[in-house]
Structure 1
């Protein structure tokens, strides 16, 4: 009898264990997707910047996979976000403006969060995920150019932006006549009075924490948009203390730097056309770093809450930015340019159970869509244009791409500009046939892109090879269009 009873007990235990294993296999991982605005990889301390102070992002990179060669597909907010969220290059969608992209891709295409929503996830957006105008939509607390089909719930984080209480200063002597003295979508600095919750990003972190603590019975896809360091540079005063502007070092000024660049390569905001003094340039750099530090503190609060609630063990965390930002390199400021500082972004993916790695393969923001769907076991539409990064989580030497492809708007001069970046070369072409010029840089010996080789006879063959590679890529993207 004892033997029979023992066998019966063993069978029950095995059955319970079997059901537990099945339940664990079926348990869905949450996704916490955090995106900063206008954050260049070169301004993050876990990348190559010792001046920057971003310890929370650095800690995340030590726990996850950090990608050192991640690139935006369009160095402007609206097109970049539409590309990564719908899974298509801008040249496939035709989304080049300040929109969500929905009107271009149509009602049948599933955005990344929409796909999660339709797969049983609670999807929430806090602040800017699809395009929002900054500072306008933040000041008004509006939805901006959002996509309502993507979300179970949406939350906006209204903030005073350049009208915040505090010490304000415009560091452009020529703000193009569009804005009052203190600010707008220009390089305005506000050392704010009060704490983190006085401003949009502090309120965004607070709302994200509330959602995490609510711990819905459903698995969640929580998208958190932090607007700093996008201009205006607004943060509580304490974040500026670490960065006295007098101690800022300007990027090297190369005499005749623009002489070998096509006219269309000169960025839309420069030290010259913004009429910035040396002190103003230093103040802009210091304020950018202060804004990064403030944004990083909000990331820290959200990640701390995730851990406190025990959800870090079952939540995929992604941190990235929509594109980069120039801080005086080549006397360029802001974005739009296809040079490194404007298109290279930080990208960190932390997956429970995966070790910390650093991956040097070329990757694109477009790759987040297939990566997150594969990790979640969700099948996307077959013709999305990114490549999954899942293999790099176990093998950081795995090569995802031989090169990255980005598009821009000819620095505001009409038409499009295109770039191909591989290990050896960065090739930038203005116009589909280089009718407005081209740039070629040797990225092994000229990482800061000071010497344009495109017009030198000895590099004619290389230029032609890169032009052909670009032509093939553009055609490939357009052939693999949005048809099902």
Structure 2
């Protein structure tokens, strides 16, 4: 790279399970642009979210802090303005920080270090979606139900298409504006799409990329009575037991989901084309990832909210062939590692000085100089009745909650997680070691009390703020029309010359 600090483009998607990408061996799905990134980049084959739900996962991604540290427990928990994010660190290091699309910030601060935000968010910023651990049997009416599956299929337009079309257009335009701008700072831009998140609906052109008869049904469906307690609670929270789901419903949902992945891929292609057309590709690191996965009917479950692989795994590719040799990383890493990674990329060595974070830089992995092999996760939202923790190290994944039986899976021998080894005498020492680690690292009673107290406070505040005149926290994008297109504040020839790229004259 010719400039001293690289540009960074982060492309983030929503609810994309890596098991359905050709990058990870699912060749049915057509995603040539994502595949191209993988062929030129570092592919993390065992990357996880740290909380399998949108807002807490994204807060981890931004802050490098687990939910119990940041307080972002669920989709309606405030992300405090005094928590430094990588956008703060990079902006302080001389970067122009830009967000186009979804980040699901809850609370009055809708920037969290971003200098510019180009679109509003698709999800609300208030406390209306606060869970209630005090009344676990009361299903929240605002939460997922199975209509996304029973209504799956073709569409002409959806909320998601409106949103993502705007996100990508704004991001493309910002890239063109950056290269024409007198601002010579490096940029870190996020283009964050909401696809392939449910509801499962896609347009004819992407639907027609797949034939109905080639859509596979889930490989493993566990009888309801054999599910673990948390999975049974998720079925209640999402009203799964009240809906009759046919094989055709499942095929329609998967068909639309695969089409949505191809839609995402086409938009990745638009951003890559803009980088190439402007010459910015030579100076830009591209990071492709997601916030959590999608069960898509596996085990009889849908959506996310559990620590099973379909829900917890995320795609993660870092493409910078001018810096890192393309290769694959087998070690387990997670979104909590993104903040120190970006800080390290912007200012080599600076990540070592960070305090109050729970992640570690991925740059050693990118440079093939070793790196960590550990994931810690916390789920503190809908469907849980107590903290639900996950540890992944080596071949093993351990899931623990004071409310439920332990779960231990050997993912090398049992990638589908069909055999819980936690109660087997042969694995007693491993379980004991994981339990000891949890006792040392977490104060579960304190976390439980904090989560419940936060939920109670937010319900009071939400009730109050919805009485009388409501004031929204949702981000309102603004563009200054006085500085767009043809205006008399600049000579016409100069204006046209400034707006044209490449420049035809000084």
Instruction: State the TM-score, normalized to the length of structure 1.
Output: 0.78
Query: Could you tell me how far 1:419 is from its partner in structure 2?
Result: 1.1
Q: 1:236 to 1:262 in 2, by over 3 A?
A: closer
Correspondent of 1:333 among 302, 321, 326: 302
Query: Could you tell me how far 1:51 is from its partner in structure 2?
Result: 1.6
Which residue does 1:354 correspond to in 2?
324
Residue 454 (str. 1) matches residue 422 (str. 2): yes
Query: What is the DSSP-based 3-state SS (H/G/I as helix, E as strand, rest coil) of the residue aligned with 2:391?
Result: strand
Which residue does 1:263 correspond to in 2?
229
Q: How far, CA to CA, are the matches of 2:284 and 2:77 in structure 1?
A: 26
Residue 57 (str. 1) matches residue 34 (str. 2): yes
- Answer yes or no: is the 8 Å Cα contact 2:160–2:194 preserved in 1: no
- Answer yes or no: is the 8 Å Cα contact 1:67–1:359 preserved in 2: yes
Q: 1:177 to 1:152 in 2, by over 3 A?
A: closer
- Answer yes or no: is the 8 Å Cα contact 1:100–1:145 preserved in 2: no
Query: What is the DSSP-based 3-state SS (H/G/I as helix, E as strand, rest coil) of the residue aligned with 2:60?
Result: helix
Q: How far, CA to CA, are the matches of 1:263 and 1:425 in structure 2?
A: 21
- Answer yes or no: is the 8 Å Cα contact 1:270–1:331 preserved in 2: no
Q: 1:280 to 1:391 in 2, by over 3 A?
A: same
Q: 1:436 to 1:410 in 2, by over 3 A?
A: farther
Q: How far, CA to CA, are the matches of 2:78 and 2:316 in structure 1?
A: 23
Residue 383 (str. 1) matches residue 356 (str. 2): yes
Write out per-residue CA displacement over residues 445-475 of structure 1, whole angstroms, 9 at most, x where no aligned residue. 2110112222334433332222223333436
Aligned length: 419
Q: 1:457 to 1:224 in 2, by over 3 A?
A: same
Query: What is the DSSP-based 3-state SS (H/G/I as helix, E as strand, rest coil) of the residue aligned with 1:74?
Result: coil
Query: Could you tell me how far 1:414 is from its partner in structure 2?
Result: 2.0
- Answer yes or no: is the 8 Å Cα contact 1:124–1:154 preserved in 2: yes
Query: What is the DSSP-based 3-state SS (H/G/I as helix, E as strand, rest coil) of the residue aligned with 2:210?
Result: coil
Unaligned stretches of 5+ residues in structure 1: 1-23, 133-143, 161-175, 480-484
Query: Could you tell me how far 1:227 is from its partner in structure 2?
Result: 0.4
Q: How far, CA to CA, are the matches of 1:97 and 1:330 in structure 2?
A: 24
Query: What is the DSSP-based 3-state SS (H/G/I as helix, E as strand, rest coil) of the residue aligned with 1:66?
Result: strand
Q: How far, CA to CA, are the matches of 1:329 and 1:282 in structure 2?
A: 12
- Answer yes or no: is the 8 Å Cα contact 1:233–1:287 preserved in 2: yes
Q: How far, CA to CA, are the matches of 1:406 and 1:158 in structure 2?
A: 25
Query: What is the DSSP-based 3-state SS (H/G/I as helix, E as strand, rest coil) of the residue aligned with 2:358?
Result: coil
Write out per-residue CA displacement over residues 184-214 of structure 1, whole angstroms, 9 at most, x where no aligned residue. 8777435233799963222211111111111
Residue 422 (str. 1) matches residue 393 (str. 2): yes
- Answer yes or no: is the 8 Å Cα contact 2:49–2:313 preserved in 1: yes
Query: Could you tell me how far 1:26 is from its partner in structure 2?
Result: 6.3
Q: How far, CA to CA, are the matches of 1:304 and 1:411 in structure 2?
A: 40
Q: 1:249 to 1:370 in 2, by over 3 A?
A: same
Residue 81 (str. 1) matches residue 58 (str. 2): yes
- Answer yes or no: is the 8 Å Cα contact 2:149–2:250 preserved in 1: no
Which residue does 2:452 correspond to in 1?
none
Unaligned stretches of 5+ residues in structure 2: 124-138, 448-506
Query: What is the DSSP-based 3-state SS (H/G/I as helix, E as strand, rest coil) of the residue aligned with 2:315?
Result: strand
Query: Could you tell me how far 1:265 is from its partner in structure 2?
Result: 3.4
Q: How far, CA to CA, are the matches of 1:408 and 1:197 in structure 2?
A: 26
Which residue does 1:212 correspond to in 2?
175
Residue 129 (str. 1) matches residue 96 (str. 2): no
Higher strand share: 1
Residue 250 (str. 1) matches residue 217 (str. 2): yes
Deviates more, 1:418-427 or 1:336-345: 418-427
Residue 48 (str. 1) matches residue 25 (str. 2): yes
- Answer yes or no: is the 8 Å Cα contact 2:12–2:290 preserved in 1: yes
Q: How far, CA to CA, are the matches of 2:288 and 2:161 in structure 1?
A: 24
Residue 286 (str. 1) matches residue 255 (str. 2): yes
- RMSD in angstroms over aligned alpha carbons? 3.2
Q: 1:157 to 1:193 in 2, by over 3 A?
A: farther
Q: How far, CA to CA, are the matches of 2:175 and 2:389 in structure 1?
A: 40
Query: Could you tell me how far 1:110 is from its partner in structure 2?
Result: 1.7
Q: How far, CA to CA, are the matches of 2:347 and 2:197 in structure 1?
A: 34
Identify which of structures 1 and 2 has the higher relative contact order when contacts are C-alpha pairs closer than 8 Å and 6+ apart: 2
Query: What is the DSSP-based 3-state SS (H/G/I as helix, E as strand, rest coil) of the residue aligned with 1:150?
Result: coil
- Answer yes or no: is the 8 Å Cα contact 2:2–2:283 preserved in 1: no
Instruction: State the TM-score, normalized to the length of structure 2.
Output: 0.75
